[in-house]
Each structure stands twice: as structure tokens, then as C-alpha cells.
Amino acid sequence: MENRYFGTGRRKNAIACVIIRPGKGQKTINGKPLAEYLKSNVLVMDVEKPLTMLNAADSFDIVARVRGGGLSGQGGAVRLGISRALSLISEDNRKLLRKNGLLTRDSRVVERKKYGLASARKRFQFSKR
């Protein structure tokens, strides 16, 4: 059996299970190619950041299953999953990824709406008279 490395990533309401194995650089999310699934070039670059940092963009095949959230949250979840899987390969990878902040989960989530307000912080227009 070939070497496979697993990583789980979370961002906002999205959860991604990522499998990395040595290969030719094919990247799929939920059965679709990476660029076709994420649509935005900015999101594609963000997801590929851990691979480009380690100069390993064409040496691993990536299969990700992601659910929940929107495209931005899903992209962030996949990026964290890739980073965690790459960190299992070698300690040097882990140090470089940690130094660049790719192993830290982004814990920001949408703030809840408060009663008496229009949204979480926005107030209704004030009327003096």
C-alpha cells in the first residue's frame, strides 16, 4: 500500500478531510478539479499556498472532501487540511508551515445577531423627533 497522509481542516462552518499521496499533482475537491470547484483564482492560490511554499506542487496528488459553509470557508478548510497532512511527512515541513502561519486554525466565525439591532452590530437609524 502506498503512503497516504490525512489532514482535517476547519474554517467558519466548513469541514474538510484531505488525503495526500505521492503523485503527479492532481488536485480534486468533492470529485471536481480544484479550479473548477473553487472558481476564483484567488481561492485556488490560497489553497495551493502550503504546496508552493514547500516546492511540492507537482509531487503530490490531493483528494479532498469538504462540506458546510461557502466557497471561501471551504477553501480555508482545505488549505488547513493540506498543511496538516504535509506536516506529518517531515518535521522540516512542519517548522516551515508553522513559521508561515499555515498550521493555525482561523477561529473567526460570524457574530450572532443581537435583539434590538438590525444585525450583529448595526443599529436602526436614530430619529430625534
pLDDT value of position 129: 87
CB 94 within 8 A of CB 41: no
pLDDT value of position 32: 95
Cα(82)–Cα(115) distance, integer angstroms: 40
CB 86 within 8 A of CB 97: yes
pLDDT value of position 120: 96
Question: pLDDT by residue for the chain (129 residues), tens digit each?
Answer: 478 999 999 999 999 999 999 999 899 999 999 999 999 999 999 999 999 999 988 899 999 999 999 999 999 999 999 999 999 999 999 999 999 999 999 999 999 999 999 999 999 999 998
> Thinking of the domain 5-99, which architecture would CATH place it in?
2-Layer Sandwich (3.30)
pTM for this prediction: 0.91
What single-letter amino acid sits at 11?
R
pLDDT value of position 9: 96
Cα(82)–Cα(62) distance, integer angstroms: 8
CB 66 within 8 A of CB 99: no
pLDDT value of position 108: 93
Per-domain residue ranges for the chain?
A: 5-99
pLDDT value of position 57: 84
